[in-house]
Structure 1
Amino acid sequence: MPSNFVTSDLPCPLWRRLLALVYDLLIVVAIVMVVGLLCQLATGGTLINTGARTVIPVWYQALQGLVVAAYFISSWRRGGQTVGMRPWRIQVTRDDGGRPTLQQTLIRASVAAAPLVLLLLNSVIGLRPTLWTLLVVWTGWFAVALFDPRRRAIHDFAAHTEIRLLQ
């Protein structure tokens, strides 16, 4: 935890954490683009087959997931904040206010990303219904924070973490 930040006991309002997530989405898009470029260069431009049906290799999808997870996990471990959390002055902490452990950050990232498994429905119900289903599930994932006094989402409950305002 950086010494110039003092975490308050105040939980972070949901609107603030969602805006931080929008900022982080920009970082994630940049990360995915760089990894995609490097993989395209490494495969001579044959990474994704766009014939009658687009085929994206499973190893590439796993690599993208690992790199994005590494961004969040390393940010939470290093200072409790992602790039998107800094301007909103919020920080991930353990339930007791301490720095999250590696295990907690792994659980937090895994549970937060769990709804992505719904993307497997694409081949069964199509892309649009799959994306709407994913959006509804993620909305529920975060809506829990509206009713919890400490404003925790599902992944916070699972990892025993919370998002707090910085003083």
Structure 2
Amino acid sequence: MTGTPLAGIGRRLASMLYEGLVVFAVLLIGFWLPQALLAGMGLGISPRLLWLHVLLLLMLYFVWFWLHGGQTLPMKTWKLRLASADGRPLRPLQAVLRYLAAWPSILLFGVGILWALVDRDRQFLHDRIAGTRIVNQPAA
């Protein structure tokens, strides 16, 4: 591990709350708008393809930002950055693994978030799985 301090749970949870608002906007523009246009033309898509659309759209959003600076907009606001456990920028497969591990980590009653209460470094379960950590962003 590097000398960059790990971010506290409170700041990470506050950032996640803000992230929910941004994700809502991403889904509104990238999911609902195209679906509304297709429905207006009388075209429908199967529910499985709709879920795949959501998963891929959000994966594109998160993985892009994590690989290009290690921060989404809420993470920048809360001065947080995602890095590998050794402090380096994420590798592409590592970012995808974190994204995919976060789904069950959050959707299974938040077990991956609650994991931080017993983790020795207070890291979320999906960060442990992917070998990542959320650190405080050093002042520029």
Give the TM-score normalised by structure 2.
0.86
Task: Tell me the residue number matched to 1:154.
Answer: 125
Cα gap change, 1:45 to 1:151, in 2 (>3 Å): farther
Higher-Rg member (1/2)? 1
Q: More strand by proportion, 1 or 2?
A: 1
Computed over aligned residues only, the root mean square deviation of the Cα atoms, in angstroms, reads 2.2
Q: Which runs of 5+ in 2 are unaligned?
A: none
Q: Which runs of 5+ in 1 are unaligned?
A: 1-6, 49-54, 117-133
Structure of greater relative contact order (alpha carbons < 8 Å, 6+ residues apart): 1
- TM alignment of 1:95-134, pairs within 5 A: 95-114=85-104, 134=107
Q: Note if contact 1:150-1:162 (Cα within 8 Å) is conserved in structure 2.
A: no
Task: Tell me the residue number matched to 1:44.
Answer: 40
- The DSSP-based 3-state class of the residue aligned with 2:89 is coil
- TM alignment of 1:21-32, pairs within 5 A: 21-32=16-27
State percent identity of aligned pairs.
28
Cα gap change, 1:46 to 1:31, in 2 (>3 Å): farther
Deviations 1:26-53 (A, max 9, x none): 11111111121112202326567xxxxx
* Residue 10 of structure 2 corresponds to residue 19 of structure 1: no
Query: Of the candidates 2, 10, 16, which is equivalent to residue 5 of structure 2?
Result: 10
